[in-house]
Amino acid sequence: MIFRNKLLVSILIICLLTLAACSSPAGTRLPRNNQEAAATATPQATRTPRIETGIEVEAADGLKLAGTFFAPADLPPPWPGVILLHMIYGSQQDWGDFPERLNEAGFAVFTIDLRGHGKTGGEMDWDQSRDDLQRVWSYMTGRAEVDQNRVAIIGASMGANMALVAAAAQPEVRALGLLSPGLDYYRVTTADALATYGQRPLLIGASDEDSYSAESSRQLAELAGESAELVMYSQAGHGTGILQTKPELADTLIDWLKRALIP
């Protein structure tokens, strides 16, 4: 009786082991221990950047300039930084996923709604905006997690002209990116500002069918000389629109920023 019970137990154990083996996918070997299981586990998804919305930078007249700060997810500060200035009648949302792309490359980003635009409101005043951007610069470079010696400005269309004016007035601006700039938008001129900006790194992007901006870009690149890189597309649109029609522009800007800001 005892022998028969032992035999039944043995048969039951063999059946259970056989069932477990059959339930595993063909060719799959079960991990031998917890360490091996951890090594073969599916990798965790990349963490998303930390985004601070609702930031307000106070202008000289009390107007609150609405901004958003994007921080890289897994890199220790201080980070190199980029300020993004949108087109006229646009908003900081026009940059799409470009701030996150910059985060992935290791840059902190600050976007704003210019005076008279987006959540900032008020009236457009390009003379007053000059002072606004100096305050935006002070906010960005005043953040402890941003390396104040490695901050660039990128602007699109009217934002490009304002970016150049701001950089000319601020010697600490390390590099400047201009998408579809003009020699003169709303009496904000760029050739004179470029002379003050000097030989700091400069990247200019435009599209050849956008005739005024294309010709302005060529002239500015010629005036800047060897410090400038000109990227000219065809049938690509205007300003931040080029980032949509020519996604490779984002990679071009990021590579250029790395050369300008990261040793």
Is pLDDT of 54 > 60? Answer: yes
Q: Tell me, what's the pLDDT at 98?
A: 98
How many angstroms separate the CA atoms of 239 and 86, rounded? 8
Q: Tell me, what's the pLDDT at 79?
A: 98
In tens, the pLDDT along 13-27 reads 444 444 444 443 333
Domain 50-261 has CATH 3.30.70.20: no
In tens, the pLDDT along 238-248 reads 999 999 999 99
In tens, the pLDDT along 217-242 reads 999 999 999 999 999 999 999 999 99
Confidence label for 74 from pLDDT (cuts 50, 70 and 90): confident
175: left (phi over 0), alpha (psi -120 to 50) or beta: beta
The arithmetic mean of pLDDT across residues 80-92, rounded, is 98
Q: Tell me, what's the pLDDT at 48?
A: 65
Q: Tell me, what's the pLDDT at 49?
A: 73
In tens, the pLDDT along 165-184 reads 999 999 999 999 999 999 99
244: left (phi over 0), alpha (psi -120 to 50) or beta: alpha
Q: Tell me, what's the pLDDT at 31?
A: 35
Confidence label for 32 from pLDDT (cuts 50, 70 and 90): very low
Is pLDDT of 42 > 60? Answer: no
Give the mean pLDDT of the chain. Answer: 87
Is pLDDT of 73 > 60? Answer: yes
Q: Tell me, what's the pLDDT at 163?
A: 98
The arithmetic mean of pLDDT across residues 114-134, rounded, is 98
Q: Tell me, what's the pLDDT at 263?
A: 77
Q: Tell me, what's the pLDDT at 176?
A: 98
How many angstroms separate the CA atoms of 167 and 200, rounded? 10
Q: Tell me, what's the pLDDT at 47?
A: 58
In tens, the pLDDT along 154-163 reads 999 999 999 9
Comparing C-alpha atoms, which of 188, 175, 178 is closest to residue 221? 178
**What is each CA distance from 52 to 70, 96, 107, 189, in whole angstroms?**
6, 16, 15, 33
Q: Where are the domains of the chain?
A: 2-39, 50-261
Q: Within 13 Å of residue 182, how many CA atoms lie on the same side as its CB?
A: 15
Q: Tell me, what's the pLDDT at 44?
A: 41
Q: Tell me, what's the pLDDT at 37?
A: 34
209 CA to centre of own chain: 26
